[in-house]
Structure 1
């Protein structure tokens, strides 16, 4: 058994773990990075990058099939999808992105990188498989998250897949049942549909994380026009099984209807769970939240055990890559400098789902503000909106679907947040997030330049709307 003494040990070699390792090393060279499988990031391997490659392919086919309204008529029969070529490009470009990440990892000293599963023996000691034990002065937990798969689906065998499996396909299947209406379910479900795969999507009451009822209603209406969506599924009564032909048979039930869908695969995209179940937290006297995750100060990432920090998806705070990167930097910096710690930069919320149209949230969501203000919501918060149905540039491009709602403090005029389903939401979200982080007021935002004709003029319309509702 190899025994090591370390100043800092980082568990997890993804975005947060790599950031923590990198920043801890600015204070001490005696830092170790432990990874139980493959160094790299969920984003590059099986997340945001390969999914965007699939979306790009799907959009190419979708656009080719919808040129008639512009007066451009193509032979639709000539628009063919070669599933092998689609997947070859996805995997090739995915491997290229992963390669960039691994170049950074391989530049670090090999003796500081350890492969194996780490488990707490006590608050200073980690056991890595059966080959290494590390006694560390400070520890960063950055073990990421994994898809949640209901136990009753396990009987589907290899017909049950998660997003990781999609990007291992050699070609596209004929049909997929998607369970989940979050980022993974919406992005992959719509992309597969647009690539010619027969897709039906099943979910609960939530849709893309949208909390604003008007934006939510608009999103449901838009997506239902294109793809079969079944909301408010009764999961207790919905039956999933393999039929006699070895296909996945979904016998689904909602409050209003029922039916059967048969598919080659079931894609489980209902949620993700922080990876804390097998890292030995039971051996620590550490404060946990209701999901069994160590509670941490969001500004320092310090847990209730002062020398233990947590970062990334496992922290159960905001499971986004840029947030994981920020948390890793904060946790690593504080682990390296401990016992001197300092708050790090936490940016305004910005989240984007790369569906079509896109879905985004900025700052405080509608639901957050309702919780914050309660019965005082209507007195405290002004709401402005714009529909993209008649927005000039959107109509020109035939992407005129969606709604943007912005929230402002009635008294000060300060931007509080926004929710959107609509064209160019990824770009509108950045303008709004920057304004929110800068603490700008709506009048100050309206003083900023807007070109013509651009989709961003829709944002100006919403800002003008909310400006008229502020206390003067």
Structure 2
């Protein structure tokens, strides 16, 4: 006999755990299905192990640059110890998630791969059947490995296995200059690995061209970047050769970071009455997460809309609530979009970017001469703020600046509150901080929208005053 429940959640990642938790809090009888229950993508192969590697790279970079401050320091990098620490802390984070799963009420967790056999009816690969009033799909995403790279065998790495390296490679080719590729490429380069990055696109880390150009100039001090190219790869013994017009190089390993498409294969969505559109994706309402008019909800990386941890958590909670109350749906007010790439300087895209829109104006701040950044030997980068020309309200930003991940949060909070340019300029700015580097962009916006702030005493003062 099939197990009956109110809400079945497929996938025990960040989105799935949030969905199950919210549905159960709403009084629903829940089932959480996963083939492994190994922990979230963030804890196991994403956010946390990458930040552990970046942290080690930051320490190495700081020691290597100590001479700029008159400090003599020597250092050697123990690659095996670096990777061992990455895995040790990674495993602790993942175990924390598994402990959370172990604390679920009896009967909630079901191990297996699920597919639809009819609307509201699921079958696991172990033969178990589940009948649910509503289903939340939180199956996540998986690294893309295009055809030419599959023939390279163990020479190829993705974010799923790069952290399993026992030692740092001598050299690393990176295919893909998006957030994952850019972060890991710089981290390995700072740890003494010879790194080159190749990408068909012209920009880095998902940034608009203007801020991407600044980030490119800064990253090229540490590694070779080849953008707008079509790399060809082949295995030559124990190495991989990557070739583009006029250049070829051999690497000990090749990291492929060409995206993480949603994992929906094997679910038999058609059996659930779900219409799959062009590209293999169904239509999802971004405010309710409902798939079409069905009792199915699609969340997190699996819907491909905002593949970020905080978005996955929010979407899981929205879908869990709506699944528990189906067919009654609540429309959620989604948070302002914000994406951060943890290069150094860190990069971010927040809210709305003009992209040719004539109703928006832009103000810029160049961090090449920013006082605090110069003091700390971190000068360089660009901040762009965007506002509505008619109202003066801030609507977005893109940046690659020192402390960018923190300033991005301040800007996201300010933009979310509907703050005007002049009101933002009248907020307190402490000196000397990287935050006060925002002010030139705000002043430029004030001039463009003809709104003079009530008080801006520092206008015209040099950056180091």
Report the TM-score when normalising by structure 1. 0.93
Runs of 4+ in 1 over 4 A off after TM superposition: none
Given candidates 235, 249, 254, the residue that maps to 1:242 is 235
Matched, 1:307 2:295: yes
Deviation at 1:395, TM superposition (A): 0.6
The CA deviation at 1:33 is 0.3
Q: Is the Cα–Cα contact under 8 Å of residues 124 and 135 in structure 1 kept in the other structure? A: yes
Contact 2:203 2:209 in 1 (8 A): no
Instruction: Determine which of 161, 166, 169 is the counterpart of 2:165.
Output: 169
CA root-mean-square deviation: 1.4
Q: Report how far residue 303 of structure 1 moved.
A: 1.1
Within the candidate set 427, 432, 436, 2:411 is matched to: 432
Structure 1 distance, partners of 2:238, 2:212, is: 37
2:261 corresponds to 1:273: yes
Whether the 8 Å CA contact 1:326–1:345 is kept in 2: the answer is no
Residue by residue, what CA displacement relative to the aligned partner does 1:48-72 show, whole Å, maximum 9, x if unpaired? 1000000010111111111122111
* Contact in 1 for aligned 2:182/2:205 (Cα 8 Å): no
Alpha-carbon separation, structure 1, partners of 2:269 and 2:3: 21
Aligned counterpart, 1:87? 83
Does the 8 A contact of 1:7 with 1:28 survive in 2?
no
Q: Is this contact kept in 1: 2:37–2:98, CA < 8 A? A: no
How far 1:345 sits from its partner (Å)?
3.6
Q: In structure 2, what is the equivalent of residue 131 of structure 1?
A: 127
Matches within 5 A, 1:408-447: 408-447=387-426
Aligned in 2, Cα 1:188/1:428: closer, same or farther, shift over 3 Å?
Answer: same
Indicate how the Cα distance of structure 1 residues 317 and 289 shifts in structure 2: closer, same or farther if over 3 A, else same. Answer: farther
Number of residue pairs aligned between Structure 1 and Structure 2: 451
Residue of structure 2 in register with 1:252 after alignment: 244
CA distance in 2, matches of 1:18, 1:364: 30
8 Å contact from structure 1 (residues 366, 419) kept in 2: no
Point out the more displaced range, 349-358 or 99-108. 99-108
2:337 counterpart of 1:338: no
List runs of 5+ in structure 1 lacking aligned partners. Answer: none
| Distance in 2, Cα, partners of 1:321 & 1:208 | 21
Q: State the distance in 2 between where 1:346 and 1:290 align.
A: 25
Secondary structure of the corresponding residue to residue 335 of structure 2: coil
Structure-2 separation of matches of 1:419 and 1:289: 32
Question: Which residues of 2 match residues 36-55 of structure 1 at below 5 A?
Answer: 36-55=35-54
Residue 169 (structure 1) shift: 1.6
Aligned 1:31-430 pairs, distance under 5 A: 31-75=30-74, 79-234=75-230, 238-243=231-236, 245-253=237-245, 258-367=246-355, 370=356, 373=357, 377=358, 380-430=359-409
**1: CA distance between counterparts of 2:4 and 2:239?**
53
- Pick closer, same or farther for the CA change 1:209–1:295 going to 2, 3 Å: farther
Tell me the distance in 2 between the aligned counterparts of 1:301 and 1:29.
18
- The alpha-carbon deviation at position 289 of structure 1 amounts to 4.4
CA–CA distance in structure 2, aligned partners of residues 221 and 29 of structure 1: 53
TM-score, with length taken from structure 2: 0.94
Contact 2:189 2:222 in 1 (8 A): no
Q: Which residue, out of 452, 455, 462, partners 2:434?
A: 455
Shift of residue 356 of structure 1? 0.8
Instruction: Assess if the C-alpha contact under 8 Å between 2:38 and 2:94 holds in 1.
Output: no
CA distance in structure 2 between the partners assigned to 1:170 and 1:347 by the alignment = 40
Rounded Cα–Cα distance in structure 1 between residues aligned with 2:252 and 2:184: 15
Give deviations 1:319-341, integer Å, cap 9, x for gaps: 10000000000000110111221
Distance 1:417 1:150 in 2: 34
**Preserved contact between residue 354 and residue 361 of structure 2 (Cα < 8 Å):** no
Contact 1:140 1:309 in 2 (8 A): yes
Q: Shift of the alpha carbon at 1:3? A: 2.3
